[in-house]
Amino acid sequence: MKERVTTNRNDILKNRDMDEFIFEIKDYRGVKVKLARTIWQDKILSTSPIGHPEIKPYMSIIPEAIRQPDVVFQSTRRKNTHIFYKLRADEKGHHIVIVIKYIFEDTDMVGYVSTIYLTNKLYARGDILWTTESTKIR
């Protein structure tokens, strides 16, 4: 079996050809985005310190948050990473945050979900790449 590794040896993208995907959808720009089953089960739902099992009940909202996010920021750490927000996703006012790393595969850009979590705060350091007309940021 062929193993592909990005130049930065990112574990999220390692062995992506062998992963089964929970979904493959288009983001707000029409770029393909995938959520690997291993990332969902072994990282996001993990009870380890890096896990975010509290996100499980929000799974039905996640694809829509990628297709129609309320706001998307450019990561200040990595230019190929975008931070998607679905604002006020529940009655407590939590925001769903979806971190997507984009890479070129052959000639097409593809995004891979690297993590998903809940927060009460907005990451407001990176450049705003997208916002809905009704969303006021800064």
Whole-number Å distance between alpha carbons of 43 and 62:
16
Residue 136 lies in a domain: no
Tell me: pLDDT of 21 over 50.
Answer: yes
Query: Is residue 43, in this structure, part of any structural domain at all?
Result: yes
Is-above-0.75 flag for pTM?
A: yes
Q: Which domain holds residue 56?
A: 21-130
Say whether pLDDT at 86 is over 60.
yes
Over range 73-98, report the average pLDDT: 95
Whether 135 is in a domain gets the answer: no
The amino acid that residue 135 corresponds to is T
Q: What is the predicted pLDDT for the residue at 83?
A: 96
Domain membership flag for residue 2: no
pLDDT at residue 18 above 50? no
Q: Is residue 13 part of a domain?
A: no
> How many domains are there within the chain?
1
- In a domain? residue 104: yes
* Residue 68 lies inside a defined structural domain of this protein: yes
d(CA 70, CA 1): 39
CA–CA distance from 70 to each of 51, 60, 75 (Å)?
24, 16, 16
Residue 1 has pLDDT above 60, yes or no: no
Would you call 73 exposed, middle or buried from its count of C-beta atoms within 10 A (0-12, 13-18, 19+)? buried
Give yes or no for residue 3 having a pLDDT over 90: no
- For the segment 41-50, what is each residue's pLDDT rounded down to a tens digit? 999 999 999 9
pLDDT at 125: 82
Average confidence (pLDDT) over 85-111: 95
The answer to whether residue 30 is domain-embedded is yes
Q: What is the pLDDT of residue 124?
A: 73
**The predicted structure's pLDDT at residue 115:** 96
